[in-house]
Structures are given as structure tokens and as C-alpha cells.
Structure 1
């Protein structure tokens, strides 16, 4: 099983790992595109106003540009510890036992505008680049990433659960993946997509799937793992699509 998480705009600082080595990351076939994007991002950081505009940042966020400038020299830490925010907080990663962390490292991956896709343990520095960003030297990221990223993700033989958000799902289509929609259900059975608590519930589901001793291999298994964690996953009329039904 591979659970594909969205990244987060916010990243933790520092780290005690060596400088970024693109060739050492998982899915090495993505290295050429990673190198293109990383090189363009670092070069862009030489022009602070242009960086702020391209990354949709305010002048108060110039430190994000400084992070990009130091991309190849800054210390690294595992991707699962680098990304922060609501979804990652909901996963409660620091509470994982050693056995649970080993399972999480094997089962979790993170979509990334800079790296395409990462395994949870891949060491990366802090950076700023979103899926919707347009780098002046390269243009929109989707045409750049889509061919290689779709090829890579299409070769994943395991059960693939896609929790990506819109901008990152747009970088590559994964027809065989199982998608999860967070919804509420009214008394008459009508369902409505949840936006406010979406990330928190996806984080709870990801944690349950990442740490369960028995790895699910079917949709029925996914539903069972979710139920054990107090979450309600249900099938929908759309193939390979499940609803995570929550109480408003």
C-alpha cells in the first residue's frame, strides 16, 4: 500500500541531515526533472522581487526566498518531519512507536511541486514552491511534471490511496488510485464536501493506514482499518472513490 499525501506550504526549520542529494531520493527516474525545477528555483532566488511574485508571497515572507537560495546547502530532515500544518499535526507523527514509524516510512509518500513524489524518509531541506506556481524559466509545472510523474506513479503495484489536494493532483493523473472525499451527510442522505476539516480528517486516516499492523490490500480492508480508527469510509457509485463521512 502507498498513501500519497499532499505537501504543505509550511515547513519545519533546520535538520541534522546532509545537504540535498537529488540522486539519493526515492524514484530516481524523476531526478532529471527534479534537477530542472530545483536549479530554476535557486536561480530565481537571486531576484527577490521576482521570487515573491512567482511564489505569490508578500514582502514579509522574504525568508522563504532565502530558503530557496540555500536549497543545495541547507540541512535536511525526513520529508515526513519536514512538512507541517493541519494534516501533519493530525497524524501525530511524534507519537508513533518505532514499529509504527517503520510502517509509516514504507507506506507514506508526499506529492511535491519540487520533487514530484517523495517517500516519507527521504531527506529534504525546507523550501517554498506550490503546485500552482509558475517559474519564469520553466513555465507552469504541470506540463513539466506530468509525463514522468504519471509514468512513475503508474508503475506502483501496491494499493495506491490518493489524498492529494487539487493543485498537486493536477500535476499527474493516477487512474488506478483510490481517491478519498471528506463529506458530511444530511438526514436525507445527501452528502456535501467538507473543506474546513478536510485536512485534519485526511491526516487521521493517513495515520491509521500508516500504522496499522496488518496492511490493507483491498478497498474492504481500507474500510476496516478506518473503522478501527473510528472513521467511516463508504463506497460511492464512482469506481475507486470512497467517501470519508464525518459529523459536522
Structure 2
């Protein structure tokens, strides 16, 4: 299986360590493109209008200014750089060694800066969303799309692609519809299904943790993924793939659902 994740807006900055080695990251063929975006981001982040260019608020100015020195910034594994609801629910730190190896093999994180990286790739913290129209580059999702296609298509070949990305990051790479399942999460509220952002992120993190805990390589088809998800969320549904659209796994949370009462092993 191949699990596609979005990054997190929040990131944990390493206090010490070596700088990034672009050639050592997963998909080394993207190194030149990553260097191009790093330089553009560093230049933009040094400008007086950097906050506007990167579409962030004033409270994030220290993170934007830190982009200027990305080439020298300390690195740490991607799974420890990315923080937030999804990554907290995934809980990499409490995975077993076997589960961690499976995560390294199976999880790819999309990124406005890196394009796509492996879960254990050593990267610095940064501030750049895939939704940004980066001066000198353009809209990042569109810029990355042709550059990511070959590398990710090769990685996805023969695999069930479990797509947990948000729409912003899904725009940068269209996974093969016939072998992809997009994961949606809704909650019953007053008889109506609602998308609740935090619950959706949390539940996707739990799903990834659940899949990493399975014996063997993981589900090989949409129906196998459905069966596995239903052991944790019994009301999960599957919408089959159509000609141009991937299948959709819809995890339906009950009205009384809360983080405290939802857990996976």
C-alpha cells in the first residue's frame, strides 16, 4: 500500500543538527526542483511583503523569517517535523519497530516545498503551503504537478493508494483512479452528515495507525480497505471508483463521537 498524507501547518523545529541533503531524500530525482523552490522561498521570505506573499498572518512572522536560512537549518525526520491533529493521532513515537519500518516504506507526505517526501526523510521545519502563489514560481500545486507525476506514478505502481490528503495537496498529484481510495470523514449531526475538519484529520491519523498495525503489507484493494476500516468504524462505507474518479472510503462518525472516546491499537 501507498499512503499519501498532507503535511501539517504546524511544525516542530529541531534545535540542532545537520542541514538538509536534497540528494538523500526520497525521490532524489526531485532534488533540482526542490532546490529551485527553496531558493525562491528564501528570497521571498526576506522581503518586506513576505507575509502577504506567503498568505500567512503576522503571528507567523518568525517562521517566515526562518525560511531565509533553510539551507543551513537543522533537520529531523519528517514524522517528527510535522505536528498537529493528524500526526498526533498517528502517534509515530509509540509505534513498534515493525510498524515504523512499514511507515517508512508506505507513507509519503506531500509538500509545497519538497513536492513529496518519505516519512523518515530528514528535513528542516519551514513555512510554505501548497496553496501559495509563490512569486517567481507561480501556484505551487500547478508547478509541482508535472514534476511529481512520473516519480509518484512509479511509486504507486502495483499498490493500493490510500489518499488521506486535503484538496490543496491532492491538486499537486492525481493518483491513478483505478487503484486509489480517497478517505473522507463525516459526522452525523441532527440526522445530517457534516464534515468536521478536526475530527477528519484525527480520524485519518487513526486510520493510518490502524493500517500500519496490520500484519502483512496491508490492504490490496478497496474492499479489503473497507473491511479493515469497519473493524474500527463499523458504519464505514465505500463508494466505488468511476471512470475518472477514485473510490471513496467514507468513515461515518456517530453524533456523540469525541477524541477521548475514539482510539485504535
TM-score by length of 1: 0.91
- Distance in 2 between residues matched to 1:80 and 1:242, nearest whole Å: 24
- Are positions 1:241 and 2:248 aligned together? yes
How far has the Cα of 1:191 moved from its partner? 4.5
How far has the Cα of 1:50 moved from its partner? 2.1
Residue 107 (structure 1) aligns with: 106
How far has the Cα of 1:149 moved from its partner? 1.2
Contact 1:101 1:211 in 2 (8 A): no
Residue 168 (structure 1) aligns with: 169
Which residues in structure 2 correspond to 1:178-197 (within 5 Å)? Answer: 178-185=181-188, 191-197=193-199
- Distance in 1 between residues matched to 2:190 and 2:83, nearest whole Å: 35
TM-score by length of 2: 0.85
Residue 89 (structure 1) aligns with: 88
Which residues in structure 2 correspond to 1:1-248 (within 5 Å)? Answer: 1-14=1-14, 17-47=17-47, 49-155=48-154, 156-157=156-157, 158-176=159-177, 177-185=180-188, 191-214=193-216, 215-230=218-233, 232-239=235-242, 240-248=247-255
Contact 2:233 2:252 in 1 (8 A): no
Contact 2:229 2:236 in 1 (8 A): yes
Q: Secondary structure, in 3 states, of the residue corresponding to 2:249?
A: strand
Question: How many residue pairs are counted as aligned between the two chains?
Answer: 246
Q: Secondary structure, in 3 states, of the residue corresponding to 1:216?
A: coil
Question: Which shifted more, 62-71 or 105-114?
Answer: 62-71
- Distance in 1 between residues matched to 2:119 and 2:14, nearest whole Å: 17
Structure 1 gap segments, 5+ residues each? none
How far has the Cα of 1:137 moved from its partner? 1.4
1:74–1:244 Cα change, 3 Å: same
- Distance in 2 between residues matched to 1:184 and 1:120, nearest whole Å: 29
C-alpha RMSD of matched pairs (Å): 2.0
How far has the Cα of 1:58 moved from its partner? 2.7
Contact 1:180 1:242 in 2 (8 A): yes
Contact 2:132 2:139 in 1 (8 A): yes
Contact 1:104 1:211 in 2 (8 A): no
Contact 1:108 1:210 in 2 (8 A): no
